[in-house]
Amino acid sequence: METKNTTEWKEFVLTGLTYQREWQIPLFLVFLVIYLITILGNLGLIVLICNDPHLHIPMYLFLGSLAYVDAWISSTVSPKMLVNFFVKNKMISLSECMIQFFSFTVGATTECFRLATMAYDRYMAVCKPLLYPVIVTYRLSMQLLISSFVGGLFHAIIHIGFLFRLTYCNTNIIHHFYCDIMPLFKISCTNPSLNILIVFIFSGSIQMLTILIVLVSYTLILSMILKKKSLQGIRKAFSTCGAHLLSVSLYYGPLLFIYVHPGSAQADDQDMIDSLFYTIIIPFLNPMIYSLRNKKIIDSLRKMLKRNA
């Protein structure tokens, strides 16, 4: 702590999830299992894609990169949350808080761009199958993946830069289970109006742009499916795109509510529940959403299990 005209806090208390004490162990075990399955599922999917030459195509390159980002987001949030279930001292320094928020923002923004890229990939595969191998090359795929990460990095740097203009002297209690930007605004003794505007402009623009890409892509895909009037073609298209559309729907709902919804600067229990979806639940579900209905991935898993048997 530094003493000036007022005391500025340099350490904070993460209150974590609101729960009764008897729920401490059950909640810890539930989130521990979810975290372990998340890491094993996402890293397992990456290993599967890397080891099978038949999966070395843009669709699975995007899927593998999404799995990496999911593991990244979960690992940014879950370990600290799990530790705080049992420790009495739930302190986190300002620098640790900034690092956690920076890492989360890079991951979450990159995931938005990844989902938009995957929607574009599915549009090209379904609507322009003959041009798909010519346009969606390995080089273009890598450019899209690198660009999405650079975009996430740039977005995080902007918010971190503006966060350093804030001071914290009212309280050091953060009512959340990780260092998110909205709870930090709430405890700031500097007027965060400029920061809130920056969040609305940049986060809102990124989310709306990527959602627009997804909606346009799937509108064109749906139009193409209806023109075919082939039951087999419809089934194949929905099998290809259904998993991605489900993942997008689950991911963007809570994200839009917290970062774009007016008046969401105050973190409460509802905000924490929404945050659980895109930090814990979605990274846990994605490997199952994308794998269980994907015949190539299931076949590749069977081959790998047979080789190792």
User: What is the per-residue DSSP string for 155-181?
Assistant: HHHHHHHHHTT----S--EE-SSS--H
Where residue 4 falls among pLDDT bands split at 50, 70, 90? very low
Q: Region 268-291: what's the mean pLDDT?
A: 83
Closest CA to 183 of 78, 71, 92: 92
Rounded to whole angstroms, how far apart are CA atoms 198 and 277? 24
Number of domains in the chain: 1
Q: What's the maximum distance between 2 C-alpha atoms anywhere in the chain?
A: 74
- Percentage, residues of the chain above pLDDT 70: 85
CATH (domain of 93)? 1.20.1070.10
Domain that holds residue 254: 2-308
Q: Note the pLDDT tens digit of each residue in 116-131.
A: 999 999 899 888 889 9
Residue 191: DSSP 8-state = -
Query: Of residues 244 and 85, which shows the higher confidence score?
Result: 85
Is the pLDDT confidence value at 187 over 60?
yes
